[in-house]
Amino acid sequence: MSAVVENTEKVSIEIDGQTVEVPKGASIIAVADELGIDIPRFCYHSKLSAPANCRMCLVDVEMGGRPVPKPLPACITTVADGMVVRTASERALKAQQGVMEFLLINHPLDCPICDQGGECELQDLALGYGRSVSRFVEGKRVVKDENLGPLIATEMTRCIHCTRCVRFLDEIAGTSELGAMHRGEHTEIGTLVGDGVHSELSGNIIDLCPVGALTSRPYRFTARAWEMTSHAGIAPHDCLGSNVELHQLRGRIKRVVPRDNEAVNECWISDRDRFSYEGAVSENRLLAPLLRDGDQWHEVDWQTALEAVANALRDTVDAHGAEAVGSLISPSATLEEMALHSALMRALGSDNIDTRLQRADFRDATSPQGFPGIETDFSELDNQDTVLLIGSYPRQEQPLLNHRLRKAALAGGHVLAINPCGFDWNFDLSQELIAHVAELPAVLAATARELARKKGLEEPAALSAWQTPSSVSADKIEQLAVVLASDGKKTVLSGALVEGHPAGAELRYLGALIAELSGAAYGALTPGANSAGAWLAGALPDRRPDGSAARGLNAQSMLTNPLKAYLLHGIEPEHDCHDPQLAAQAFAAAEHVIALSSWDTPALREQASILLPLAAFGETAGTFVNANGHWQIFGGVGQPLGEARPGWRVLRVLGNILGTPGFDYEAPDQIHAEVKTRAGDAAVARPSVEQAVAAQRASDGMQRVGMPALYGVDALSRHAPALQATDQAQPAVVLLNPSDAVAQGLTEGGKVSVTQGSASQTFAVHPDERVPAGSFWLAGGLSNTAGLGAMIGSATLVAAGTDA
Amino acid sequence: MSGAAKPVEEGLTEQERIEIDAWLTRFPDSAEGKRSAVIPALHIVQHNSGGWLPRARMDAVAEYLELAPTRVYEVATFYGMFDVEPVGRHKVNICTNISCMLRGSNEIVEYAEKKLGIRLGETTSDGRITLKREEECLAACAGAPMMLVDEVYYTELTPEKIDQILDELE
């Protein structure tokens, strides 16, 4: 039974003397919470089912003038007309105190060494309802701890069996990894088999745990709740921009917890949002500006470094023209940093600026009417009747958006997917069409044709350019079209595999066409936290900050036609570029590569000529614009480590040294305000269906398919030790169709050498029939995929023995 | 009886599927109905797995009933009649609930422990007998003290009867 009841039918009840009209079917505890009446509870949580197993919320109830013989649990007792509830009567209090005494029987008195101490629901309620001296003199039970993985620390002796964690993993995460094993006195929360917890949302059970049984492993014993101050922040990893609170002590982030925002992340955050802060205090942080002198690096002061940057830029412009300078920016840079970068490049005379590092196909121009994003409100995704995912695995891309799709599916909605590979979904897709990566445009075109037929619409002439797909049957496409043609709330979403697809422009055009034909909303699951901000700030080659059109080089052309000087912001090219190998070649040929980075990595030392230390997550103020177009502002929490400085400050001073007009900002909100004024009422825009993108011949041979791994999406998550210790961050494995494996003489556990261009790397093999023959899955952003070629593109596979 | 020497199947055998299907017809044809069949399914599988439930066999039940394995583990650990650790060829369950206790089950337990050289919850070193821990009332109070050996009830126990019954177990 869900706690939140939206019922227009009302009943009248009296609760603690107040007479109120409340929705029929609501639980007493939900009604009390609305009214601000505090009923003690442990197992109840408004987002989870109510099992009524802690009994702490017992209240006194009277129906029809007669008291109910025993106190009732408020979490599963629904209101009824004429009900009288007393939450603090003598009988209710006595019942609550009795429950508290039983709960404390086996609970250890280790509050002084417990991380939950000071923010513990049991501690708080024990203060109000517990006895000052325990009557229980027998021995307390002890429970052996289980290793749940690198993120969650356990102290199961403290567990009071509220089962919130069990229900969260079952109902929200969909992984059902924990259970209540054994019985009665011997009940233990655990996996029984020792598999640990692997959900991408697992950290939420730390927040849900009312006691110190489940605590954050990276945070363990590093601070006390009351010492820290809390600051509102925005998670910097995906286009949702989950709202978080950063808890800091003496200028250092100690942990990250969710901040409630029903429109974005509800009360949850993903593990990536929760544990990535560790990257900001990583020992790999770049702490001072560095200048290269041959093979040597020298630490210099900021003035020297920025003058060197200014000279490098001026020299390049003088010698080769401004077109020889290009800027590649992380899609998770702040709006302010993007705006200054854009202004700086335009002042130099170059339009070569881009944040779309993962994009492979630039044949479709930037939409001039608005920014890329999702037309459907995040909260509305929960109750869509139909969602079509194209080239997407949101569980990895935007874990909490996936949670909303899961809610839609559980409520009876149809979630459909057209993908180049099967994935581990945590809900049942209504239909999953898996086609060879090169056939995706043909599958979409066939779907659009079938959809037009079903809707009795004229088939757009451009669709004839794509042939009938061979790997997906006409029946399956028809079934998909039937669902898309039916009535209801519908959304088409395109994901990371469209972004990185060599025919991505075709997929975007066809996706928008399918949305148009079916009357669905359209959405792009954009990379990084701020792809919308990049459009708004004009950090694009074809859109200047003032909104005027331009014709600069995009992220791909900047690398295929090597430039003389590159400015890199917040990226690790060996992971973050669509084709890291191409990027490495371009940087090697350049005269100057100036990298603003929070981390000092061997690859940057090899590729860059100047390294500028950038403030990391939590150390800089700024704005992220999410895929729904919410401008979410956050402040800096602590001083940047070492000599690192916020990007907007570095760029402002660089602008001053270069004599760029208008660079006299004193705070990021001035830049924010300027961008906001220029942006006017810009909103999310979908790809144009007016101008068809022509079909191009797909490349032959074995194709690599991949997208950044869950914890490989950006430098911050890659430098977070706990995240990197999870299963999801282990070295990449080649997944390929069993028929291809047999043909190549590969078996489970064998090794295969993957060659793309001049780069080769050896990987373990895992035959998987969800990968279409003629392609293999190999993720990006992992330790052993650095420097390979395009994440989706041609590759050769050669067996490399059983053990390298 | 238990204690079959043949290798334990990892998945479900055809016969096991037939038996579980027969139980499934007694419950509603829904996810909840399938969940209701967990207990009979575990009995069937445990019977064929040397008297206990190896993980792979519980996972096979979970897969067949379309449940998360954890939900099956919870049931298997909740009930005393299921074992998730290896057991002896014979399981001896001496009732220690109130009626049997009043009729001297504590002495019976002590006698059996001494005779076998093991404590409740342990298995003899020859793998012959497991003395189960905490057996709840088996509804044979009229014959207290009583015990359940594998699937047979023995009532009105005395040390002599214990000797006779246990010695006959192979």
Three-class DSSP category at A414: strand
User: Whose CA is closest to B167, among B105, B96, B90?
Assistant: B90
What mean pLDDT is predicted for residues A281-295?
95
B14: CB partners within 8 A, 6+ apart: none
> Does the beta carbon of A179 lie under 8 angstroms from any beta carbon of chain B?
yes
C-alpha A414/C-alpha A491 separation (Å) is: 11
> Does the beta carbon of A177 lie under 8 angstroms from any beta carbon of chain B?
yes
Question: Could you give the percent of chain A with pLDDT greater than 90?
Answer: 92
The widest CA-to-CA distance across chain B, in whole angstroms, is 51
C-alpha B139/C-alpha B146 separation (Å) is: 10
C-alpha A276/C-alpha A282 separation (Å) is: 10
Residue A492 backbone dihedrals phi, psi, to 5 degrees:
-105, 125
> Does the beta carbon of B56 lie under 8 angstroms from any beta carbon of chain A?
no
Mutate to test the interface with B, among A161, A171, A176, A199 (most CBs of B within 10 A): A176
- Option in B68, B73, B79 nearest A192 (CB): B73
pLDDT at site A202: 98
- Option in B55, B70, B84 nearest A179 (CB): B70
- How far CA A16 is from CA of A13, A92, A218, A493, in Å, comes to 10, 12, 43, 49
pLDDT at site A4: 54
C-alpha A386/C-alpha A376 separation (Å) is: 12
- How far CA A327 is from CA of A595, A657, B156, in Å, comes to 10, 18, 90
> Does the beta carbon of B32 lie under 8 angstroms from any beta carbon of chain A?
no
Strand order in the sheet with B129-131: B129-131, B90-94, B147-149, B152-154
Bond prior to A640 in cis (omega within 30° of 0) = no
> Cα(first)–Cα(last) distance of chain B, in Å?
11
- How far CA B100 is from CA of A20, A389, B105, B159, in Å, comes to 55, 63, 5, 14
Q: Are residues B60 and B52 in contact, defined by beta-carbon separation less than 8 angstroms?
A: no
Residues of B in contact with A180 (CB under 8 A): 74
Query: What is the torsion angle, in degrees rounded to the nearest 10, for the CA atoms of residue A335, residue A341, residue A347 and residue A349?
Result: -120
pLDDT at site B135: 72
What mean pLDDT is predicted for residues A662-676?
94
pLDDT at site A803: 53
pLDDT in tens, A560-611: 999 999 999 999 999 999 999 999 999 999 999 999 999 999 999 999 999 9
User: Whose CA is closest to A705, among A506, A559, A504?
Assistant: A504
Residues of B in contact with A177 (CB under 8 A): 70
C-alpha A799/C-alpha A767 separation (Å) is: 13
Q: Are residues A653 and A306 in contact, defined by beta-carbon separation less than 8 angstroms?
A: yes
pLDDT in tens, A135-162: 999 999 999 999 999 999 999 999 999 9
C-alpha A534/C-alpha A625 separation (Å) is: 9
C-alpha B67/C-alpha A173 separation (Å) is: 15
Q: Is A724 exposed, middle or buried (0-12, 13-18, 19+ CB in 10 A)?
A: buried
Tokens of B57: 């066999």
* Mean per-residue pLDDT over chain B, rounded: 92
pLDDT at site B120: 94
Beta bridge partners of A86: A60
Mutate to test the interface with B, among A187, A193, A195, A424 (most CBs of B within 10 A): A193
Residues of A in contact with B71 (CB under 8 A): 176, 179
Q: How confident is the model at residue B3 (pLDDT cuts 50, 70, 90)?
A: very low
Distance from CA of B58 to the nearest CA of A (A): 11
> Does the beta carbon of B30 lie under 8 angstroms from any beta carbon of chain A?
no
Residue A232 backbone dihedrals phi, psi, to 5 degrees:
-70, 135
C-alpha B99/C-alpha B142 separation (Å) is: 8
> Cα(first)–Cα(last) distance of chain A, in Å?
53
Helix B55-64 / helix B69-78 crossing angle, nearest 10 deg: 120
A305: CB partners within 8 A, 6+ apart: A289, A290, A291, A610, A612
* Mean per-residue pLDDT over chain A, rounded: 95
Tokens of A735: 């997944």
User: Whose CA is closest to A386, among A481, A489, A456?
Assistant: A489
pLDDT in tens, A79-91: 999 999 999 999 9
Three-class DSSP category at A335: helix
pLDDT in tens, A14-37: 999 999 999 999 999 999 999 999
Residues of A in contact with B74 (CB under 8 A): 179-181
> Does the beta carbon of A173 lie under 8 angstroms from any beta carbon of chain B?
no
Question: Judging by DSSP bridges, how do beta strands A610-613 and A353-354 pair with one another?
Answer: unpaired
C-alpha A642/C-alpha A406 separation (Å) is: 43
* Contacts across the A-B interface (CB distance below 8 Å): 31
pLDDT at B4 over 90: no
Distance from CA of A182 to the nearest CA of B (A): 4
Mutate to test the interface with A, among B77, B81, B134, B135 (most CBs of A within 10 A): B77
> Does the beta carbon of A773 lie under 8 angstroms from any beta carbon of chain B?
no
Residue A50 backbone dihedrals phi, psi, to 5 degrees:
-105, 110
